[in-house]
Amino acid sequence: MIVNVHKFARWKQEGQAIAMLTAWDYISAQMVDAAGVDMVLVGDSMAMTVMGHETTLPLTLDEIIYHAKMVRRGIKNTLVIVDLPFLTYQVSRAAAMLAAGRVLRETGAQAVKMEGGYPAMAETIAAVVQAGVPVMGHVGLTPQSVYQVGNFRKQGKSAEAGERILNEAIALEKAGVFAIVLEHIPSDLAQKISRALTVPTIGIGAGPHCDGQVFITSDLLGLSEWQPPFATPYVNLRSQGIEAAKQFCEDVRSHQFGQSP
Ligand code: KIV
């Protein structure tokens, strides 16, 4: 399926909001595809939500490619974007191009996402874009830098920090990204950035003024034990799943399971 990623800038002009959800395997991909989502992200948040790591850092390129292949098989209609994992693209432009190339060639996804908008990263992203790979940017809270930042808290709260994030977003637009994730920043800053750019912003914990929104699907479904404060689940499948599993155990232990209906 050929997706023109530039259509999203037109959507922004027309005021059409963009809905993005994450997926990590075939079944989650089929579900979000059937829901008619506009973009699917194979996010490195899966290192925490699906694989049980404390941060996103341990996820490898081979692992995300393995998951992205499953996701791609479950998607019929939607753009698939894959996160490049920690230190697969920060090292050099050549490393970034090779990592992005592997993702597109081996998984069938159409775009990659890379964190950071500092000058060297904007240059790396420009090189990947020039090599023909659509790139989504990501500024604000960038979880791959968690050890440098020291926490997963809201970013851009001071005027100076807000200005830095705005400048990073502008640099990424100049580098040629087709959209930018704004993660966990004040709503008024997200609005200012969204107004300053022609490419769409996709918010997560960044208020209602972004051009689109992304939700981590395991949070949307209430599957995880813990959700970030800005991610109120739409259903609570974890407690429903626990109840269903308890009922199954009871039925087996009381010799009720397997009786013909
Ligand atoms: O990895 C991820 O799921 C993400 C979202 C938070 C945008 O990057």
Looking at the domain assignment, is residue 208 inside a domain?
Answer: yes
pLDDT at 162: 98
Q: Cα torsion at 155, 135, 104, 8 (round to 10°)?
A: 110
Looking at the domain assignment, is residue 2 inside a domain?
Answer: no
- Ligand 1, atom 5: nearest CA belongs to which residue? 43
Looking at the domain assignment, is residue 41 inside a domain?
Answer: yes
- From ligand 1's centre to the CA of 141, what distance in Å? 10
142's tokens = 């960038």
Per-10-residue mean pLDDT, the chain, length 261: 91 98 98 98 98 97 98 96 98 97 98 97 98 98 95 95 98 98 98 98 98 98 91 97 98 92 67
> Does 83 contact ligand 1 (Cβ within 6 A)?
yes
DSSP-assigned letters across all residues of 91-149:
S-HHHHHHHHHHHHHHH---EEE----SHHHHHHHHHHHHTT--EEEEEES-GGGHHHH
- From ligand 1's centre to the CA of 61, what distance in Å? 16
pLDDT at 256: 94
pLDDT at 260: 72
Residue of 183, 225, 243, 250 marked catalytic: 183
> Does 183 contact ligand 1 (Cβ within 6 A)?
yes
113's tokens = 């996402």
- From ligand 1's centre to the CA of 183, what distance in Å? 8
pLDDT at 77: 85
Looking at the domain assignment, is residue 130 inside a domain?
Answer: yes
Looking at the domain assignment, is residue 62 inside a domain?
Answer: yes
135's tokens = 């790139």
258's tokens = 């397997």
Looking at the domain assignment, is residue 180 inside a domain?
Answer: yes
From 20, 216, 227, the mutation candidate for ligand 1 (largest count of ligand atoms within 8 A of CB) is 216
pLDDT at 191: 98
Q: Could you tell me the CATH number of the domain that includes residue 193? A: 3.20.20.60
Looking at the domain assignment, is residue 1 inside a domain?
Answer: no
Active site residue 54: no
- From ligand 1's centre to the CA of 181, what distance in Å? 8
pLDDT at 243: 98
**Count of domains forming the chain:** 1
pLDDT at 3: 84
Between CA 69 and CA 240 the distance in angstroms is 29
Looking at the domain assignment, is residue 60 inside a domain?
Answer: yes
pLDDT at 261: 67
Q: Which domain holds residue 209?
A: 7-235
